[in-house]
Structure 1
């Protein structure tokens, strides 16, 4: 049996499983073939290691399983590792998250208090600081325009005011770079913290 026939059998034998679990098992089989081929093994040898004996030429082609067929009653299903061996719950049995409602509620409550009392104020303060840097950068970058407006209104132009406006522009460029770095860091931190909340809530 080559890889193509093996994967077809796996697909039909695992038909009773949910789609995400079936795809995970098939992806792991693909990985086994990739590693085996890199080690110089043939597809038939890899199939034998995975638990499917080569099919005799005289054997009639297998019949696709009906979706309603229960796992374990399909042809070749006794040769496929059960879902528990791959870390999945068997069909009809709720997964760990469904059985662990108290932990989900408790962790959710702790995360809620942590976010409301600590992290949301911290991120709000950081965001306010970011806005302040942006406003200061914009104000200093507009110093030459302010000088032009003042000169057109009052006609009081001096070299000192020109040098000051140029200096403020330089400071504004530095603040703009700082604001860009600050904004990127704040966005990454918020994204990482949101991901940590999600993984903690899921028990990962």
Structure 2
């Protein structure tokens, strides 16, 4: 593979990264070729030392999406980071995507329980044969419990978010370490 082929393929594979970031990455790889030339290496030797453009692009996509997820704390950016990380191999499919989906389902279930408990006093008040004092006490208790579960789940969600990002960053370092 020649320098031009390598750089063309890499740039094509980095299409999902914004132009400015992509240009910086491409400039770094141009520099790798310039340094290799100064050291007397051929284009083929430099390409061999750099590795597969496909693997480089996957790593760069993961790195970019992890950076985005750290800057924009929302479910969409985290999902893109997880998806990009899964693309690095089967290990990540089993040990990233599976637990991520399972823990997301648990968090959604906790939020659903909190919502039902918060709304439940309205349903209790609709029951015609209830004692008013009993209904108010039970309604206040259930609503309070729902709020507590909701706040706790929100805190747990933030902890989960930070844990996912830290794990994905560690995972990327491990994968990079194995390659180099």
TM-score with structure 2 setting the length:
0.49
Greater share of helix residues, 1 or 2? 2
**CA radius of gyration, larger in:** 1
TM-score with structure 1 setting the length:
0.44
